[in-house]
Amino acid sequence: MRLIYEKSKAGRRASSLPRYDIPKAEVPEELRRTAAPRLPEISEPDLVRHFTALADRNFGVDTGFYPLGSCTMKHNPRVNERVVNLPGFRDLHPYQEEEASQGALELMWRLQEILAEVCGLDAVSLQPAAGSQGELTGLMLMRAYFADRGEADERRVVITADTAHGTNPASVAMAGFELKKVETDDRGNLDLDDLRAKVDGRTAGLMLTNPSTLGLFDEHIAEVSAIFHDAGALLYYDGANLNAVCGISRPGDMGFDIVHINLHKTFSQPHGGGGPGGGPIVVRDILEPFLPVPAVVRDGDDFRLDHDRPKSIGKVRGFCGPFGVFVRSYAYIRAYGPGLREMSEAAVLNANYLLARLKDDYDLPFDRLCMHEFVLSASNLKREHGITALDVAKRLMDHGFHPPTIYFPLIVPEALMIEPTETEAKETLDAFIEAMRAIAAEAATDPAAIKDAPHKRPVRRLDEVKAAKRAVVKFGFDEHPDLAPVKAEAGGEAIEAAKGA
């Protein structure tokens, strides 16, 4: 596909307006451009076709099944968009006075109440803008808690699982803690012996995803909780997989003291490519004084922002957080009425249906009932036919599906992490099963067809390292000098990437 700069023809415009008969604005000399901006010049129909063609090349949850494990790519109900576009929400200014924002404050307060109930904990801050920012905020609360008790110098270590998402160790380091990793046992639980050996008076807390990134609920969670609490440490729940347990089991009841929720995953919000998201923090009462300010509170029938929290860690984001995400999450939750558990039950059922029908064609490292996702391995295909998880993922694109998460969690070789979510119909799941089985069969009969995949997508197989490390994201005007090394590396040839990526 040609770039918009290549389609540009001097003098073409996407709109034409009559000349103004008002005097030109005087722009001070020092602020004037010396040359006109180099923008593409194109007619409106060609402009619309260009961007529509680009959009058509994209794959999203509205295009097809998107079983990206741990990312919970569920359908985003359109009613949420209607609600978030109500003028009272849409046109609200963050600096609007409290008396004129009562509806928005009430929505935030109600969302906080629901999240506290779902987690079985006491207090909420909606501020963090993503799960990862929630992690950092939660660990800062942990640090503030121990500092307040005069234990900041001793409580230096946070323990994570070897299945943890990469953001967990990153957050531990950013929050100034030392990291220790605990291994996973043969059934996919935390290895209790390894854990006991690592918890001591220096431990500040555990950071755990439960169900884990293997899609397995830790069978010893009560014992794990006792080990940490007996040592005076806290438990942090990475809520990325909360979709599996809403209304069924609560992190607070499992023993967790701090939880982040990925609103964009669990409660539907168009996401991907890094945003937009919401990562509220939910805590036990002992941690409430440290939560970010302002807190959204209720006084009788009124709602207000409370800045008077002397022990607060301060603000972690502008204003009260990503308000549009709150409205969509609230709408999604209320659409289930009191039966939110139905959401999680359907998600778990869908995952177990897929698992039961795929486990004969792929390796299954932990043969247990799964929660809302599960991890297969393409090790059998690699051993027998040289076909890897990456090959399977690429071939799935030819069948019209987004690939699952691959090569994660790290402890499973050739991992394929599959999460169907509750919003998919049985026919879709069956079509996916057929595709996965067809690929497993094809690995034996025509492995070359898989190795070359995708055959039917606009972009074939990329050099992914180069695409990530050498992304060229601007047009290569002739006088741009900095593309020379890229061209030189391609033997002086003009390469497609040199004009944009």
Ligand X SMILES: Cc1ncc(COP(=O)(O)O)c(C=O)c1O
DSSP state of 91: T
Which residue, among 284, 289, 292, has the nearest Cα to 134 in the 3D structure?
A: 292
Nearby residues of 415 by Cβ (< 8 Å), 6 or more positions away:
375, 376, 377, 389, 405, 406, 407, 408, 409
Compare residues 71 and 140 and give the one whose CB is closer to ligand X.
71
Binding mask of the shown chain, residues 234 to 273, with x at each position contacting ligand X by CB under 6 A: ----x-x---------------------x-----------
Residue selected from 132, 184, 243, 329 as contacting ligand X according to rule CB under 6 A: 132
- Residue number of the CB closest to ligand X reads 131
**Which one among 74, 143, 155, 165 touches ligand X, defined by CB under 6 A?**
165
**Nearest CB to ligand X, comparing residues 130 and 158:** 130
The span of 128-136, 150-158, 312-320, 379-387 binding ligand X (CB under 6 A) equals 128-136
| Helix or strand holding residue 16 (H, E) | none
Tell me the one-letter amino acid at 1: M
Spell out, one character per residue from 328 to 357, where the chain touches ligand X: x when CB under 6 A holds, - when not.
Answer: ------------------------------
Is the Cβ–Cβ distance between 74 and 422 less than 8 Å?
yes
For ligand X, the binding residue among 130, 207, 406, 439 (CB under 6 A) is: 130
Q: Apex CA 448: angle with CA 445 and CA 451, to 5°?
A: 125
277 binds ligand X (CB under 6 A): yes
Listed residue (391, 332, 401, 355) closest to 68, CA to CA: 401
Burial class (CB in 10 A: 0-12, 13-18, 19+), 87: exposed
Instruction: Considering the complex, state which of residue 262 and residue 388 has its C-beta at the smaller distance from ligand X.
Output: 262
Q: Which CA distances in Å does 19 have to 24, 56, 371?
A: 11, 36, 64
Nearer to ligand X (CB atom), residue 131 or residue 215: 131
Smaller CB distance to ligand X: residue 101 or 127?
A: 127
- Note whether 167 binds ligand X by CB under 6 A: yes
For ligand X, which stretch binds (CB under 6 A), given 129-137, 175-183, 243-251, 327-335?
129-137
Binding mask 47-86 for ligand X (x = CB under 6 A): -----------------------xx---------------
Name residue, tokens 């690699």. 382
Q: Which of 138, 215, 251, 279 binds ligand X (CB under 6 A)?
A: 279
C-alpha 189/C-alpha 173 separation (Å) is 24
Pick the binder of ligand X from 101, 127, 209, 329 (CB under 6 A).
Answer: 209
346 contacts 422 by C-beta, under 8 angstroms: yes
Count of residues engaged in binding ligand X, rule: CB under 6 A: 14
Q: How far apart, in whole angstroms, are the C-alpha atoms of residue 390 and residue 405?
A: 10
Q: Which spans of this chain sit near ligand X (rule: CB under 6 A)?
A: 70-71, 130-132, 165, 167, 209, 213, 238, 240, 262, 277, 279
